[in-house]
């Protein structure tokens, strides 16, 4: 087989890139290691930056998001069991966040691929990225028991943190930056009405987050020791711990119910540079990971795909390789901005094991300074809602 672009990974980054390349009539093949249902079964992100909404709309896969997603004007910070500070994002930046689950976006992207007749191969095993610095880059893999090879112009490594693409860049050519956090997030889904707006809470017992998926599906998190196992947390223990970490006026409004999904995610900050090596381009979690505190993981994947797709289109349509050559630098600018912001929110809101009462007071003072300063709130708001693209996608 031969194609222009092989996309390794059929998660949100890979499938959004596929959708945009299809609309630009750029031939490509997507290789996904898991089954379709396995990918759709993963519960992950829930908040889209407005820049991501613009990319998804321009890609022509926003019908359900615009019908079922919920635009939010504000997000709340809570602390000390009594304070609640609304960060009025729309008032401060003119932009909103969209609450729309990653699972839903993934479903929309798979449905679009079905309609497009995209070459999307699930259960692709032993994928290997080869010869990306030669004139004949190619990808080999096993599918339905047969060894396969696809020759291509470019490889898009959209295979997440545990994929193979990043390792196709020799260690001597790659620099990795990492910080792991000494706690995890225990998340649950419950078929209960969510709070009207997101609430992030700082408490000496630990971090908590109240989020949403739709009017009858809520997403909640509590910080937990990284050694914990899901079985250590009954629903009752989860709800009482979340309530203990929220101000009473907020806790009283939480509608509890049985969990329909419960999982613990580790937190890390990670960046691999560069995001290009020869004819291999990394996009999404294959190149970077952020703690979910800033709601940036999925949005960074969308950001990379916007920049990479624009570069590939300029190359194939106009023979212009400037954006391909500038991709890594431009993508990393946005990556590091979100990595820093996600680190800042994580450091501000979580109870670190080695924290003292002095440290707790510093966190609470920073939160009360935010409450006193519109300028500080505007700084947080513009980063939370997402810095606009220098070249936003053209509306359809």
- CB-nearer residue toward ligand FAS: 217 or 265: 265
226 vs 376, which CB is nearer to ligand FAS? Answer: 226
Residues 6+ apart with CB under 8 A from 327: 275, 276, 281, 307, 308, 311
Residues interacting with ligand PHB, by CB under 6 A? 45-47, 211, 219, 292-295
Give the nearer residue to ligand FAS in terms of CB position, either 13 or 132. 13
Long-range contacts of 238-244 (CB under 8 A, 24+ apart): 238/186, 238/188, 238/262, 241/205, 241/206, 241/208, 242/208, 242/210, 244/203, 244/205
Whole-number minimum distance, CB 378 to ligand PHB, in Å?
19
384 is catalytic: yes
Region of residue 103 (left: phi > 0; alpha: psi -120 to 50; beta: else): alpha
Q: Which residue has the tokens 């203990």?
A: 244
* Residue 38 annotated in active site: no
Shortest spacing between CB 101 and ligand PHB, in angstroms = 7
Of residues 138, 203, 288, 296, which has the active-site annotation?
296
Helix ranges (DSSP H) in the chain: 12-23, 36-40, 50-58, 63-68, 89-93, 102-116, 235-245, 248-251, 297-318, 322-349, 357-372, 374-385
For ligand PHB, give the closer residue by CB, 31 or 75. 75
Binding partner of 159, given ligand PHB, ligand FAS, none, CB within 5-8 angstroms per partner class = ligand FAS
Phi, psi of 245 (to 5 degrees): -95, -5
Of ligand PHB, ligand FAS, none, which one sits near residue 20, judging by CB under 5 to 8 A according to partner kind? Answer: none
Set 12, 137, 194, 292: catalytic member: 292
Tokens of residue 62, six digits = 């926003």
Q: Closest distance between ligand PHB and the C-beta of residue 276, in Å?
A: 29
Q: What is the SS3 assignment for 316?
A: helix
CA distance 141 to 33: 10
Which listed option, ligand FAS, ligand PHB, none, makes contact with residue 148 (CB within 5 to 8 Å by class)?
A: none
Whether 72 is catalytic is yes
Please give the residue ranges that form the binding site for ligand FAS (CB under 6 A). 8-14, 31-34, 39, 44-46, 102, 124, 127, 158-160, 162-164, 265, 284-285, 292, 295-298, 301
Asked if residues 266 and 186 have their Cβ atoms less than 8 Å apart, the reply is no
In the set 100, 110, 154, 200, the catalytic residue is: 200
To the query of whether residue 200 is one of the catalytic residues in this protein, the response is yes
293 binds, among ligand PHB, ligand FAS, none (CB under 5 to 8 A by kind): ligand PHB
The catalytically annotated residue of 22, 28, 72, 350 is: 72
Read off the tokens for 68.
């079922």
Binding at 301: pick from ligand FAS, ligand PHB, none (beta carbon under 5-8 Å per type): ligand FAS
Distance in Å, CB of 160 to ligand FAS, minimum: 3
**Cβ atoms 127, 31 nearer than 8 A:** yes
Q: Which does 284 bind (CB under 5 to 8 A by kind): ligand PHB, ligand FAS, none?
A: ligand FAS
Q: In the bound complex, what is the minimum distance in angstroms from residue 98's beta carbon to ligand PHB? A: 11
Give CA angle at 2 (7, 309), nearest 5°. Answer: 35
> How far apart are CB 74 and ligand PHB at their closest, in Å?
13
Residue 291 binds which one of ligand FAS, ligand PHB, none, with CB within 5 to 8 A depending on kind?
A: none
Closer residue to ligand PHB in complex, CB, 27/70: 70
* Annotation marks residue 291 as catalytic: no
Chain residue at closest Cβ approach to ligand PHB: 46
Least distance between ligand FAS and beta carbon 27 (Å): 19
User: ω into residue 274 within 30 of 0, thus cis?
Assistant: yes
Pairing of strands 259-273, 288-289: antiparallel
Question: Distances from the Cα of 104 to the Cαs of 12, 69, 111, 176, 390, in angstroms?
Answer: 10, 10, 11, 32, 28
Tell me the catalytic residues.
72, 200, 292, 296, 384
């Amino acid at each position: 087989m031969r194609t222009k672009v092989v996309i390794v990974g059929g998660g949100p980054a890979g499938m959004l890139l596929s959708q945009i390349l299809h609309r630009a009539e750029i031939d490509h093949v997507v290789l996904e290691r898991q089954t379709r249902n396995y990918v759709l079964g993963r519960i992950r992100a829930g908040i889209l930056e407005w820049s991501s909404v613009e990319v998804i709309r321009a890609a022509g896969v926003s019908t359900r998001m615009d019908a079922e997603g919920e635009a939010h004007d504000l997000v709340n910070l809570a602390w000390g069991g009594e304070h609640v500070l609304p960060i009025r994002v729309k008032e401060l930046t003119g932009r909103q966040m969209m609450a729309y689950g990653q699972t839903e976006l993934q479903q929309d992207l798979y449905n679009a691929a079905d309609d497009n007749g995209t070459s999307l191969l699930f259960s692709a095993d032993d994928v290997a990225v080869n010869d990306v610095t030669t004139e004949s880059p190619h990808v080999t893999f096993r599918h339905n028991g047969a060894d396969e090879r696809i020759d291509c112009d470019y490889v898009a490594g959209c295979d997440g943190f545990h994929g193979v693409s990043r390792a196709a860049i020799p260690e001597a050519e790659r620099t990795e930056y990492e910080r792991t956090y000494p706690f995890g997030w225990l998340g649950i889904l419950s078929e209960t009405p969510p709070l009207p707006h997101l609430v992030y809470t700082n408490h000496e017992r630990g971090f908590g987050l109240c989020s949403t998926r739709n009017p009858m599906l809520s997403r909640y998190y509590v910080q937990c020791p990284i050694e914990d196992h899901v079985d250590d947390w009954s629903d009752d223990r989860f709800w009482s711990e979340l309530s203990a970490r929220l101000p009473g006026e907020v806790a009283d409004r939480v509608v509890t119910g049985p969990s329909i999904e419960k999982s613990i995610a580790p937190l890390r900050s990670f960046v691999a540079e560069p995001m290009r090596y020869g004819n291999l381009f990394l996009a999404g979690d294959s190149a970077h990971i952020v703690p979910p505190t800033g709601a940036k993981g999925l949005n960074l994947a969308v950001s990379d795909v916007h920049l990479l797709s624009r570069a590939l289109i300029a190359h194939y349509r106009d023979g212009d390789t400037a954006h391909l050559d500038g991709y890594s630098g431009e993508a990393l600018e946005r990556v590091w901005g979100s990595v820093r912001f996600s680190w800042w929110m994580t450091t501000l809101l979580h109870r670190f094991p080695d924290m003292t009462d002095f440290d707790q007071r510093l966190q609470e003072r920073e939160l009360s300074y935010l409450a006193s300063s519109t300028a500080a709130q505007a700084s947080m708001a513009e980063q939370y809602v997402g810095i606009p693209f220098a070249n936003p996608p053209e509306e359809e």
